């Protein structure tokens, strides 16, 4: 039985078990729809980790090729996005392992547009925001990445991280409380 979660990428792009079955069968339109649904969030997710275009593109290509390899073995249970991002996450981990860089030292990138940031973080500098992000644990940064860069739902993040939805929601709420206190963001 087809299941999708409200607000999920699957729901937005109409990705269900029959579409995945068509993609496994080689249907180009179905493959294209899956690609179109994930290329932007996957690329942005990798960019937020590596901070440069060639590596983000390399990791995005590797992720999609791995999705193709593994697609025939995917069992539809309503968390396709979590499955796709698990592959992306593994690729990113492999990348940093190969570079012998500790995950704790990987900065979480901010938006490029300074004007946007200025409007948002009133009275604060990007440097302070970066420092605050860098002070978080890697797992906390990962929750932020999955929620605000990849824009996954809480249910999807919970499925991906093997945690309960409430635990993810609670952990993010606390993180944001910490943010709002330290950034002096008004009217939050």
Residues 2-21 that bind other proteins (CB under 8 A): none
Q: Which residues contact 174 (CB under 8 A, 6 or more apart)?
A: none
The structure tokens listed for 148 are 């605000």
Of the candidates 13, 71, 178, 182, which one interacts with other proteins according to CB under 8 A? 71
Of 61 and 182, nearer to other proteins (C-beta) is: 61
Q: How far apart are CA 145 and CA 50, in angstroms?
A: 12
Listed ranges 6-14, 75-83, 172-180: which one lies at the site for other proteins (CB under 8 A): 172-180
CB 12 within 8 A of CB 40: no
Interface with other proteins, residue 111, by CB under 8 A: yes
Interface with other proteins, residue 37, by CB under 8 A: no
Find the Cα–Cα–Cα–Cα dihedral 70, 72, 74, 79, rounded to 10°: 90
Of the candidates 17, 103, 178, 182, which one interacts with other proteins according to CB under 8 A? 103
Interface with other proteins, residue 137, by CB under 8 A: yes
Least distance from other proteins to the Cβ atom of residue 121, Å: 7
CA 81 to chain centre: 9
Interface with other proteins, residue 55, by CB under 8 A: yes
Q: How far apart are CA 110 and CA 154, in angstroms?
A: 21
Of 14 and 25, nearer to other proteins (C-beta) is: 25
């Amino acid at each position: 039985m087809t299941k999708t979660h409200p607000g999920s990428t699957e729901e937005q792009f109409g990705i269900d078990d029959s579409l995945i079955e068509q993609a496994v069968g080689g249907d180009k339109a179905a493959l294209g729809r899956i690609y179109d649904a994930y290329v932007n969030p996957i690329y942005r997710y990798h960019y937020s980790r590596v901070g440069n275009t060639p590596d983000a593109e390399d990791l995005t290509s590797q992720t999609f090729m791995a999705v193709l390899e593994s697609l025939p073995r995917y069992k539809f249970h309503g968390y396709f996005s979590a499955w796709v991002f698990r592959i992306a996450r593994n690729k990113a981990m492999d990348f940093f392992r190969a570079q012998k860089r500790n995950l704790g030292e990987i900065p979480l990138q901010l938006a490029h547009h300074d004007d946007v940031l200025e409007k948002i973080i009133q009275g604060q500098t990007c440097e302070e925001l970066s420092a605050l992000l860098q002070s978080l644990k890697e797992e906390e940064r990962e929750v932020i990445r999955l929620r605000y860069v990849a824009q996954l739902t809480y249910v999807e993040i919970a499925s991906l991280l093997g945690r309960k939805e409430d635990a993810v929601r609670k952990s993010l709420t606390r993180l944001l409380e910490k943010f709002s206190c330290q950034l002096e963001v008004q009217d939050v």
